[in-house]
Structure 1
Amino acid sequence: MTIYFYVEREKPYGCFSNFSAHGFMLDELYWATSEHYFQAQKFVGTPYLEKVRQTKTPKDAANMGRNRSLPLRSDWEQVKDDVMRNAVLQKFRTHADIREILLITGEEVLVENSPIDYYWGCGKDGSGKNKLGQILMEVREVLRNGD
């Protein structure tokens, strides 16, 4: 079976969304969502990291992170998967309730059912890379094996 998730308000798997309100500490800072962390990492070493971190909503963080008039770090394409993996792992390490939801999925395939994202999600036609789903399955395995 395949478990599809997309927006944070979908139960019970909405917690798999990077927009879900499950904050955590990482890099000695508090992040309201994994989206805040992910988008801010595009601007390491600049004041924009803190501006993204302090945005009110994950949507605001995403919009700022996607603003190409801002100075994107030069190695972003090489590090973005690891950045996402770190954020997702820390989110699920921090929150026992959603960690349990992830672990209960067993061996199910997890798919971000985004109609617009062909990298992190499956895209409108299902041909996307589903990188977020893959990372969630990796994190599930790490958590299952006790880190």
Structure 2
Amino acid sequence: MRTETSVYVSMTDEENPLSTVSPQPFSLDDGEWPTAEHYVLAMQFEDPALRAEIRSVLDPQQARKLAKRHKRHLRSDWESVRRVYMTRAIYTRCLSHPASARALLETGDKRIVESSLYDYYWGCGRDGRGVNTYGEVLMDIREKLRSAGAVSPVPPASQTHAPPD
């Protein structure tokens, strides 16, 4: 159920700075990652060569296909650590890209919902009964950014003043 107290995002919307596929490169774990999606997909595997291969593909869709081809080699603890890796990726990206952090802070106190109809772990699922882990990750990072004062939100245009002549 959509309400005014919620913000809906899609992990696959390249235009949305809160999406995992938004092209906002960042450095983490001795690598430069083109998107958060690349990072999280690569961290599913322990093989450094496979991680590097995923990191090097041009777009998140190619990274997803490559990871899917190797799914039988997923790390054994992936279910228990995937949220941690997603959190690390998005938090690091926010620190690297203040506009991304501001977009997250501008959601205020609204509940953030990942609107995937098919993903019941990261998203809300077709019936709204999904875990919405990605939304929870974003809300946790938003709180961490606030408490750390890492990025100050941009004031609304009505509050900005031109410098005197």
Q: Shared topology, TM-score over 0.5?
A: yes
State the SS of the aligned residue for 1:145.
Answer: helix
CA distance in 2, matches of 1:130, 1:67: 25
CA deviation after TM superposition for structure 1 residue 69, in Å: 5.0
Q: Deviations over 1:52-99 (max 9, x none)?
A: 111111111122223345521111111111111111111111101111
**Alignment length, in residue pairs?**
144
Please name the residue that 1:121 is paired with.
123
1:49 deviates by 0.7
Match of 1:5 in 2: 9
Residue in 1 aligned with 2:143? 141
Tell me by how many angstroms 1:46 deviates: 3.7
Give the superposition deviation at 1:142. 0.5
1:34 is matched with which residue: 33, 36, 50? 36
Using the TM superposition, name which of 30-39 and 68-77 deviates more: 68-77
Over 3 Å off, 4+ runs: none
Counting only pairs closer than 5 Å after superposition, residues 1-147 of structure 1 correspond to structure 2 as 1-6=5-10, 7-9=12-14, 14-146=16-148
Ranges in structure 2 where 5+ consecutive residues have no aligned partner: 151-165
**Partner SS state of residue 120, structure 1:** coil
Distance 1:119 1:63 in 2: 19
C-alpha distance in 2, partners of 1:37/1:71?
16
Counterpart amino acid of residue 51 in structure 2: L
The TM-score with structure 1 as length reference comes to: 0.91
Which amino acid is the alignment partner of residue 23 of structure 1? P
CA shift in 2, pair 1:9/1:31, >3 Å: closer
Query: Percent sequence identity over matched residues?
Result: 36
- Which one-letter code corresponds to 1:92 in the other structure? C
Q: CA RMSD in A?
A: 1.5
Work out the CA distance in 1 between the residues paired with 2:46 and 2:91: 20
**SS of corresponding position for 2:73:** coil
Q: Structure 2-normalised TM-score? A: 0.82
Gaps of 5+ in 1: none
